[in-house]
Amino acid sequence: MKRIACFCLLAAALLAAGCAGPTYYYGGLKDQRDANAQSIYRDGLALAGTQDHRAAISEMKKAILADPNLTEAYLALSRSSFAVGDYDMAFFYRVKYAEQQAYRNRVESFPIF
């Protein structure tokens, strides 16, 4: 009888824990990474605004390393590369920007059931 009572108590505890809701182990890390990438991206934009495109390129590359899905950084990197005369890299980053935008549009238009 004790075994049945212990089993029922354990089963009830496990069911209650399972109904508590989802547990996101890495959610805070992603938010922190996104905030860091956004901060670096804004620094790069400020440098590009002062016509310091070489430093802006460096900052944009850091932002992309921090968050590869930051599509705006690819476009800014393309513009700064064009400004310093590196047309091959400007074209490369412009294509990367277009690919990221196309992927984002596909994901956002995906129907959720």
DSSP character string of 14-48: HHHHHTT----SSHHHHHHHHHHHHHHHHHHHHHH
- List the chain domain ranges: 29-107
Q: What is the pLDDT of residues 10-26, one digit of tens each?
A: 565 555 555 554 444 44
pTM: 0.67
Q: Which CATH architecture has domain 29-107?
A: Alpha Horseshoe (1.25)
- For residue 47, the tally of other CB atoms under 10 A from its CB is 20
Q: What is the pLDDT of residues 50-104, one digit of tens each?
A: 999 999 999 999 999 999 889 999 999 999 999 999 999 999 999 999 998 888 8
User: Would you say how long the chain is, in residues?
Assistant: 113
Q: Please give the distance of CA 75 from its chain centroid, rounded to a whole number.
A: 15
